[in-house]
A and B are shown apart, each in its own frame.
Chain A
Amino acid sequence: MSNYHTKTVTELSAMLQAGEVSSVELTRYFLDRIKNSDDKLNSFITVCEEQAMVQAKESDEKLKTGNAPALTGVPIAHKDIFCTDGVKTSCGSKMLDSFISPYDATVVTNMRNAGVVMLGKTNMDEFAMGSSNETSFYGAVKNPWNLKAVPGGSSGGSAAAVGARLAPASTGTDTGGSIRQPAAFCGITGLKPTYGRVSRFGMIAFASSLDQAGPMGQSASDCALLLNAMAGFDDKDSTSIEKSVPDYSADLNKPLDGLRIGLPKEYFEHTEGGMNAEVEATIKAALDQYKAMGAELIEIELPNSGLSVPVYYVVAPAECSTNLSRFDGVRYGYRCEDPKDLNDLYTRSRGEAFGAEVQRRIMVGTYALSSGYYDAYYLKAQKLRHLISDDFTKAYEKVDVIMAPATPETAFNIGEKTDDPISMYLSDIYTIAVNLAGIPAMSIPVGFANNSSGVSMPVGMQIIGNHFEEAKLLNVAHQYQQKTDWHKQMPEEFQ
């Protein structure tokens, strides 16, 4: 019995290149795993069996030529927020349940050009609005470590699929923590790159100034390989940055001697909604490991970090309220039955097809942009955003990277926070500032801690870098993963 699911992308890529396994065999293997196990998780919205097998065959042909790119033939999953030509692209919403994209997102094109095989499209919070994957039209995703718990969100399907090894890796998007928080909850490694590093073209917009796509995998080394394929300037995205893409795998093995790690005082303070004690102990142990590897721990201040959540919950809803205006029932997507007139067409199509959380954010955002309130909310939030960003700039004068918990607690149970949006919003308290500042950050698994129901669940630690320092983050994460095996842990049920 083969055990390809225990292999990382780095390992599978080497096996494919060496001809030890074919892409057809590998792809079939993972399609079967999805078929057999995804009932428990609900991590996929669409499985692309036929297309995947076609792509796998093409990959095998390419591999035979002997000069196929590193990821050729490696099957992965795409978050259902990326438009995929000829494949349903729902964004987790009833609104787009019938939408088959006629074009590929740049991320999808880039990955395909790098040789990747697409297994399917993963479940997500509706339009990426949520922190638990419970807002999906396609139902909640379960955490592979405990099926009662949430996988986090919004890239919950991607995290759960990789956590359960139904796919060796996946893509995700992160607007306020949507890669890092689910990666932490599911015990995998996720990277949100610098804003502008990966093209947003074809990625359904939630909050345009915050959205960024990134890789979710089993290890830092996997994320480096995936980011090599994803990143790069795209003339179809005016906010993508024209800067050459380094080889993210090149620096993985640099020693960490003398690495200056900043620890934001504010994140380690014991406050309401702050980190729970078990999570804190786990993070501290990881920091000790870094110390043992030659790093220096330095306390830093991010004095405006308390503003992150309120600023985010003005900026993100404001942008989403207009980004989602195109879903009007006129050209594609859901349209209500028998509209009486134009207004009825709009209100019922949108009212019937958007879920409660999406509607809540559209209303908040519409209010924040309204004449007479714009200055007090949106404009002010944008100003505060600069302060939050400046905090990081100052910090990086003293330190190389910043470390912090990814979440205040481990994965909570399904239904636990659905009636309390504020407490749900606070689960992103450590991740949001990074999006507001546009800087890159990772979450890596560093141990386990009990959740509120007393179940031991993975803990994620964030490594936050300055603009375009993805390579440094991957190096710092990879070195830890050379000394520890938290990232190799697999949930019993999916071994």
Chain B
Amino acid sequence: MSNEWEVVIGLEIHAQLATKSKIFSGASTAYGAEPNTQTSVVDIALPGVLPVLNKEAVHMAVKFGMAIGAEVSDRSVFDRKNYFYPDLPKGYQISQFELPVVGEGSIDIKLENGDTKTIGVTRAHLEEDAGKSLHEDYAGMTGIDLNRAGTPLLEIVSEPDMRSAKEAVAYMKKIHTLVQYIGICDGNMQEGSFRCDANVSVRPKGQEAFGTRAELKNINSFRFVERAINIEVERQIDLIEDGGEVVQETRLYDSDKNETRSMRSKEEAMDYRYFPDPDLLPVILTEEYRQQVKAELPELPEQKQQRFMDELGLSDYDASVITASLGLASYFEIVAEKTGDAKLSANWITGELSARLNREEIEIDKAAVDAEAFALLLTRIKDNTISGKIAKDVLDAMWNGEGSADEVIESKGLKQITDTGAIEAYVDEVITNNPSQFEELKGGKDKMMGFFVGQVMKMSKGKANPAQVNELIRNKMK
């Protein structure tokens, strides 16, 4: 990217709220059912039906508001957003326009250089999701699946405070973590439970006025957000540098081609004719209710991170990596408690465990080894049953479903040799076989120590206790 340009990004995140039923009907919100089996008369907008607000959706929105220290409105109003589309059964979406339930708040993100940056949250409002149009398999026709219609969404709108794709991703991840911590969204991006629109523009560095923005629609992974923004920024800069002008429009990111393309321009932009939905009463929230919701909030990511540092002695880095996911943090807490060694637990979780999760691209809840089993493995390192090196092999075997740490150690005969006599025999053999090297070691060539330890470990198939090996060799040098 050229140095004279500054990137300006704002995100609209759609978090699907984890309510059991829809926002305005009693139908289930469960994912993956046969088309149109999770639809009530309200969801398919039969004549005469009326929406009834699911109070749990409001509760979840308020939780979010309290968690980011935002203003939560005394009175918020549902509006109709009018447009025609086959998967929008009423011909309008019930949303919130002028009076959203959550007002201004903010989120702190960590930049790559370690600095903290505050990103403003303009508002968060409740709305219903639309259904899905299925364009394949219907021979020139379109299939409509209304299972998703009426699923509650919290749309979280940021200020245009982000200055790079990386910042946007950091912000999105932060929100992603938060909504899972407070239990309002399952965060499942593959199923579309957490997705975003990105408003992207560029301006010459130092210029105060924003450039014309393009809105990138419906991006559902962190990787795509970063790529989509970067490719769009590149497109806008190229365009301007070639003497063109960015037009305000909605664009779609095509992840296969890694390009964005125009969906509709501002001229084609719709007039949604927002007006208060006369079928729904304003939502009135008391200060007492807000305080009650605030009191219900669980420990938030930053609080947890601080506690891990203060009480468990984790490094800033380890604590932030572990608390970035509620699942990982809970896993860690079990392992640390069972082993009584937070530091060792943190090292193994941020290291070996995370590496395996990343390799398989899975979340902690899908890990092949649960926290109790993992704790047992670490306990076997602590009680010198196995070395850390052997433990990695044991973990691999456990991961492959070969049993518990003890079972693997037993069946593979990996128990560490701590019998001094047995180790001494190995040491003597190695010295006998390598007399000149031993002379060098005695002569002060410390590097040779590694060679001897390595040879003994090799002979013992890694089972000798390395500390003991070291000690015995030093004794022989005297």
Q: Which residues of A pack against B, CB within 8 Å?
A: 82-83, 89, 91, 96, 99, 101-103, 105, 200-205, 207-209, 235-239, 318-319, 321-322, 324-328, 330-332, 342, 346, 366, 369-371, 374, 378
Chain B residues contacting A321 (CB-CB under 8 Å) are 273
Nearest CB on A from B276, distance (A)? 9
Give the size category of B's interface with A. Answer: 20 to 34
Contact: B46 with A238, CB < 8 Å?
no
Chain B residues contacting A89 (CB-CB under 8 Å) are 47-48
Contact: B279 with A342, CB < 8 Å?
no
* Contacts between the two chains (Cβ within 8 Å), count: 98
Chain A residue with minimal CB distance to B82?
Answer: A322
Given contacts A99-B47, A204-B48, A239-B278, 4 further A-B contacts (CB under 8 A): A238-B280, A321-B273, A327-B47, A374-B273
Q: Which residues of B pack against A, CB within 8 Å?
A: 41, 44-53, 80, 82, 84, 86, 89-92, 144, 271-275, 278-281
Chain B residues contacting A101 (CB-CB under 8 Å) are 46-48
Chain B residues contacting A330 (CB-CB under 8 Å) are 86, 89, 144
CA distance A378 to B276 in the complex (A): 10
Nearest CB on B from A134, distance (A)? 22
Nearest CB on B from A367, distance (A)? 10
Contact: B278 with A328, CB < 8 Å?
no
A370 and B41 in contact, given A83-B47, A202-B49 (Cβ under 8 angstroms): no
Choice from A205, A236, A346 contacting B84 with Cβ under 8 Å: A346
Contact: B82 with A369, CB < 8 Å?
yes
Nearest CB on A from B282, distance (A)? 11
CA distance A322 to B53 in the complex (A): 19
CA distance A236 to B46 in the complex (A): 14
Choice from B86, B273, B281 contacting A238 with Cβ under 8 Å: B281
- Secondary structure call for the B interface: loop
Chain A residues contacting B275 (CB-CB under 8 Å) are 318, 322, 369, 374, 378
Contact: B82 with A325, CB < 8 Å?
yes
CA distance A91 to B271 in the complex (A): 29
Chain B residues contacting A102 (CB-CB under 8 Å) are 41, 46
- Secondary structure call for the A interface: loop
CA distance A221 to B385 in the complex (A): 92
Contact: A319 with B86, CB < 8 Å?
no
Chain A residues contacting B51 (CB-CB under 8 Å) are 238
Choice from A200, A238, A239, A370 contacting B271 with Cβ under 8 Å: A370
Contact: B92 with A325, CB < 8 Å?
yes
Chain A residues contacting B46 (CB-CB under 8 Å) are 83, 101-103, 332
Chain B residues contacting A322 (CB-CB under 8 Å) are 80, 82, 91-92, 273, 275
Contact: A371 with B271, CB < 8 Å?
yes
A342 and B48 in contact, given A102-B41, A371-B271 (Cβ under 8 angstroms): no
Chain B residues contacting A332 (CB-CB under 8 Å) are 46
Choice from B44, B86, B278 contacting A208 with Cβ under 8 Å: B278
CA distance A103 to B41 in the complex (A): 8
Nearest CB on A from B394, distance (A)? 58
Chain A residues contacting B47 (CB-CB under 8 Å) are 83, 89, 91, 96, 99, 101, 204-205, 326-327
Contact: A201 with B49, CB < 8 Å?
yes
Give the interface centre of A236, A239, A324, A370 by most chain B CB atoms within 10 Å: A236
Nearest CB on A from B141, distance (A)? 10
Chain B residue with minimal CB distance to A366?
Answer: B273
CA distance A89 to B456 in the complex (A): 90
